[in-house]
Amino acid sequence: MNNVNKWFNQIIQYGIESKFIEESDRYYIANKLANMFDVDEVEISFEEVGNFEDVLSNLCNYAYQNELIANSFSDFDILENKIIDLMMPKPSLVINNFNRLLKDDSRKATDYFYQLSKKSNYIKTSRIARNKVWKSETKSGVLDITINLSKPEKDPKEIAKAKLKNSSGYPKCLLCRENEGFSGHISHPSRITHRIVPITLNKKDWFFQYSPYSYFNEHAIILSKDHVAMEVNKNTFIELLEFVNQFEHYFIGSNADLPIVGGSILSHDHYQAGNYRLPMEDANILKTYQKVGMSLNLLEWPMSAIRLIGDDMSILSSRADEILNKWISYNNQELNIVSHTDLERHNTITPIARKRNGKFELDLVLRNNRTTNEFPMGIFHPHQDIHHIKKENIGLIEVMGLAVLPARLDTELKQIKDYLLGNNINEDELVKHQDWIKYLKTIDFNDLDKMIEKEIAKKFERCLIDAGVFKQDSSGIKAFMSFVEEF
């Protein structure tokens, strides 16, 4: 029992140091914890916090040993969040604090909200730290690479239990506002410590939150109040530009609104934002056209990207809408670009906005999701020969030059390195990589890790090239220029 009291006091001390609670809240929180863990008595004392996540883990293990929870990841996660939520400010207080700071400085408002999301363990900083992250120079510039190890994988028993659970359909998806404070269960992650703040874009209600598994600094999600499907249109451009006008230190973008070229959640309209400089922002300009109230620039980037730059949000959003509408019906048989088949639309745009040097920038990346027998996962999608590295969608984040690669690669790359060093391994496990390994064996290297990192970046660059509709060759560039010269 002494250990339990110690852990209770460490939790309370963490809450005080994080400014979630005050000194006068000690007994109140201690008794709440005692009730949660079926403990009859508590003893208040000062305890150094140490590693807060270790304290949470100790309490969860205690709960399991005393049959208060089952031995599953979801039960541990829910209990951890319940412990932290005892001290968390209510949504109304978070909103009031955010809005008070926003009146003075948008950066102060986001700093407050971001730190709250980290201290509450909503943003899984220790899990995110497991990700393998590096930068590599390629012909397309320096690209960001990450092997995503932060999202936990359910074991087979949990997956089986989830199938047996009747879904209530509440919340409808992981982005719905109803997630705020939702306990969670085996098939829906706990959102007990989740907080969102309302913002207005284009005279409509939206909500601002942070991603639990950040892919870049201050990775934020801006979600629609209503559970409505993704759609890229003129309103999208207006909303993106209004957001960066309010939060000038952030970029914001939208996934495309069609399968294959869109994100993993197309059922709920949302944007992704962050305080991070992604590689595409630094792409060279291939050609500039001066237009009324703005400049139109073709980017030197593996994917076909147009950058509109100007002072007037109305001019930029209107011109972007013209480009979108023309692209929706654009066809070029020689380049395999077909806009519609059997009434199914294939052309759309991935848009990104930022404010730089006092001017608005709106990037429009042209996308096409058509499939064929030769390319069943998409003509403008990573082709089969690089699926051993990545075959998932090229969404907003990848479009901007940050590779999000599957966790399996961490183990597979270690095996490949062992093989290249002449160590004995099970070669059957590397069948999918056999052609790549043959190529790697031809490369002289001083630093094996750096060599592998560079070659992975080349593979990701190929993913972007495959996804580009106008290729970076003479015929592709000529067709790209022809497409934009009318605007």
Structure confidence at residue 71 as a pLDDT band (50, 70, 90) = confident
Note the pLDDT tens digit of each residue in 310-332.
999 999 999 999 999 999 999 99
Tokens of 178: 């109803």
CA separation (Å) from 133 to 144, 277, 418, 454?
Answer: 7, 15, 20, 12
User: Does residue 435 lie in a domain region?
Assistant: no
Which domain covers residue 384, as residue numbers? 125-403+474-484
Q: Are residues 81 and 130 in the same domain?
A: no
d(CA 451, CA 454): 5
Q: Are residues 276 and 185 in the same domain?
A: yes
pLDDT of residue 158: 46
Q: Length of the chain, please? A: 487
Q: Are residues 20 and 69 in the same domain?
A: yes
Residue carrying the six token digits 């790359």: 413
Average pLDDT for the chain: 93
Q: Are residues 158 and 79 in the same domain?
A: no
**End residue of a domain, out of 87, 116, 134:** 87
Q: Are residues 132 and 76 in the same domain?
A: no
**End residue of a domain, out of 72, 87, 102:** 87
> With 70 as the cut, is the pLDDT of residue 238 above it?
yes
Q: Are residues 194 and 312 in the same domain?
A: yes
Is the backbone peptide bond immediately before 91 cis, with ω within 30 degrees of 0? no
Spatial strand order of the sheet with 251-253 comes to 197-201, 204-210, 220-224, 270-274, 251-253, 347-356, 359-368, 305-310, 294-300, 284-291
The stretch 176-187 carries a mean pLDDT of 92
**In contact, 307 and 363? CB cutoff 8 Å:** yes
pTM for the full predicted model = 0.93
Domain containing residue 319: CATH number: 3.30.428
Structure confidence at residue 154 as a pLDDT band (50, 70, 90) = very low
Q: Are residues 241 and 390 in the same domain?
A: yes
Question: Strand, helix or coil at 416?
Answer: helix
Q: Are residues 11 and 83 in the same domain?
A: yes
Tokens of 49: 């916090």
β-bridge partners, 308? 296, 362
pLDDT of residue 159: 40
The string of DSSP letters for 317-378 reads HHHHHHHHHHHHT--BGGGTB-SEETTEE-EEEEEEEEEETTEEEEEEEEEE----SS-TT-
Q: Are residues 75 and 136 in the same domain?
A: no
The stretch 62-90 carries a mean pLDDT of 93
The stretch 209-237 carries a mean pLDDT of 96
Give the Cα-Cα-Cα angle 34, 38, 42 (nearest 5 degrees): 35
d(CA 322, CA 319): 5
228, 406, 279, 356: CA torsion to nearest 10: 30
d(CA 412, CA 405): 12
Q: What percent of the chain has pLDDT over 90?
A: 87
> With 50 as the cut, is the pLDDT of residue 463 above it?
yes
User: Does residue 196 lie in a domain region?
Assistant: yes
pLDDT of residue 352: 98
**End residue of a domain, out of 33, 57, 87:** 87
pLDDT of residue 168: 64
Q: Domain total for the chain? A: 2
Give the other-Cβ count within 10 Å of 449's Cβ: 11
Q: Are residues 287 and 388 in the same domain?
A: yes
Q: Which of 41-50, 334-343, 421-430 has the lowest mean pLDDT?
A: 421-430
User: Does residue 93 lie in a domain region?
Assistant: no
Note the pLDDT tens digit of each residue in 266-324.
999 999 999 999 999 999 999 999 999 999 999 999 999 999 999 999 999 999 999 99
User: Does residue 424 lie in a domain region?
Assistant: no
> With 80 as the cut, is the pLDDT of residue 192 above it?
yes
- The distance of Cα 436 from the centroid of its chain, to the nearest Å, equals 28
Burial class (CB in 10 A: 0-12, 13-18, 19+), 277: middle
Q: Are residues 23 and 147 in the same domain?
A: no
CA separation (Å) from 33 to 29, 69, 86, 87, 158?
Answer: 6, 15, 8, 11, 27
Q: Are residues 256 and 385 in the same domain?
A: yes
User: Does residue 460 lie in a domain region?
Assistant: no
Note the pLDDT tens digit of each residue in 356-402.
999 999 999 999 999 999 999 999 999 999 999 999 999 999 999 99
